[in-house]
């Protein structure tokens, strides 16, 4: 029997063991309304085969309206392994990832993608588990005009894409502080950035050794393809974080992440999907893939032996719609590009059906949350 890390996907297991009729019923239960396979141009398929990455495409449907034209957007999500070992020079590691992702972006362009998002801290191994400052802090760079953003500007301009590029940011204007940041580039122009709001302190994921909670709030970026926001990694565990992006008008919220199976996989398929339902927008969950090994051992503070990796990043990137439907996930083991076509009109159509925005009680929540934030708060428990 294959180990959990070696399992390709849930879909592969279903396809291998269930008759077609039962598969359709199970998929409906697991994923809601069916997402139709998207026809992917042969140029993109050929590039994926040549460069050895998975490529999948799906389309969400919305009802035809009489007074609004469809607002069709194609979104791309990239999940990937690191390219060269973690003991290689920093520039070599970064340049190899630049080249790898540029190739996958070319496939996305061939498939007419409008907005693409990379995984969390995509230019480096997820070295924050080590708690070592050297050499990992050298990956940090300026958000506005660092080498990665300059590369992304070129790709964005060349392919007329909006690109979301999560990096380790070095803020030289404020004491060389470091942040976990997502940079947004549109038509080759730096549009803005968002810094990670919630920082984990869970086992090996003790990222406060490098950066603290972000200070950019919950910005929404108006692009020619729709209003987008970025809920970076650990923020997906906080429903109010998702909520505030919706309160600010987001239509698509991206969740670039780095998370391993032993810690979070039972939560992975639930949280972004729940957020799409609760906030009537599309959500895009991206996780890196592979096992990253480091030169020096580190411990988890749990009495277990020291180790040089902290588990398998299980990929499984997917997109969820406001009606609760979702795509199948990408592979748990391979680099991949997920292409999803969506009609943003579905956001308002779902709001009209369910009325979540009308029936929420923001005034009551605001009063209760303000009270709960006070040090002398007493829970409202009746006995």
17 falls within a domain: no
Domain at 274, CATH number: 3.60.110.10
Catalytic residue among 54, 120, 169, 292: 120
Domain count, the chain: 1
139 falls within a domain: yes
Digit-coded pLDDT (tens) for 82-120: 999 999 999 999 999 999 999 999 999 999 999 999 999
Chain mean position to CA 310: 20
101 falls within a domain: yes
Verify whether residue 193 is a known catalytic residue.
Answer: no
pLDDT band at 138 (very low <50, low <70, confident <90, very high): very high
Catalytic residue among 117, 233, 284, 347: 233
DSSP 79-148: E---SS-TTS-HHHHHHHHHHHHHHHHHHHHHTT-SEEEPPTTTTS--GGGG---TTGGGG-B-TTTSHH
Residues 307, 297: contact at Cβ < 8 Å?
yes
274 falls within a domain: yes
Verify whether residue 28 is a known catalytic residue.
Answer: no
Containing structural domain, residue 319:
37-372
Whether pTM > 0.85 for this model: the answer is yes
Residue 301: per-residue pLDDT: 80
344 falls within a domain: yes
Digit-coded pLDDT (tens) for 279-332: 999 999 999 999 999 999 998 888 889 999 989 999 999 999 999 999 999 999
18 falls within a domain: no
Verify whether residue 117 is a known catalytic residue.
Answer: no
Catalytic residue among 196, 227, 271, 347: 196
Chain mean position to CA 82: 17
């Amino acid at each position: 029997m294959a180990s959990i890390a070696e399992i390709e996907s849930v879909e592969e297991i279903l396809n291998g063991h269930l008759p077609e009729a039962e598969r359709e019923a199970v998929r409906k239960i697991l994923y809601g309304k069916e997402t139709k396979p998207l026809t992917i141009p042969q140029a993109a398929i050929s590039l994926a085969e040549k460069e050895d990455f998975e490529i999948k495409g799906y389309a969400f449907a919305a009802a035809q309206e009489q007074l609004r034209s469809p607002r069709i957007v194609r979104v791309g999500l990239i999940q990937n392994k690191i390219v060269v070992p973690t003991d290689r020079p920093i520039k070599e590691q970064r340049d190899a990832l630049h080249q790898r992702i540029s190739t996958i972006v070319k496939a996305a362009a061939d498939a007419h993608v409008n907005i693409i998002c990379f995984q969390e801290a995509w230019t480096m191994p997820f070295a924050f588990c080590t708690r070592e400052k050297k050499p990992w802090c050298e990956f940090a760079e300026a958000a506005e005009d660092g080498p990665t953003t300059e590369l992304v500007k070129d790709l964005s301009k060349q392919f007329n894409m909006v690109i979301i590029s999560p990096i380790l940011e070095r803020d030289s204007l404020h004491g060389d502080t470091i942040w976990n940041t997502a940079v947004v580039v549109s038509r080759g122009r730096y549009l803005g950035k968002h810094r990670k709001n919630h920082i984990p302190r869970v086992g090996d994921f003790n990222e406060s050794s490098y950066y603290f909670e972000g200070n950019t709030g919950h910005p929404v970026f108006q692009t020619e393809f729709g209003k987008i926001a970025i809920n970076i990694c650990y923020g997906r565990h906080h429903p109010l974080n998702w909520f505030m992006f919706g309160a600010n008008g987001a239509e698509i919220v991206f969740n670039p992440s780095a998370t391993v199976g032993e810690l979070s996989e039972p939560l992975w398929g639930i949280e972004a999907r729940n957020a799409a339902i609760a906030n009537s927008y599309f959500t895009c969950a991206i996780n890196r893939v592979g096992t990253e090994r480091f030169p020096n051992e580190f411990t988890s503070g749990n009495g277990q032996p020291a180790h040089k990796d902290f588990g398998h990043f299980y990929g499984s990137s997917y997109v969820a719609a406001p009606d609760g439907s979702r795509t199948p996930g990408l592979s748990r083991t391979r680099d991949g590009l997920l292409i999803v076509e969506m009609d943003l009109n579905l956001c308002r159509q779902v709001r009209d059906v369910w009325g979540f925005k009308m029936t929420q009680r923001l005034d009551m929540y605001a009063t209760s949350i303000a009270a709960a934030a006070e040090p002398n708060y007493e829970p409202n428990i009746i006995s």
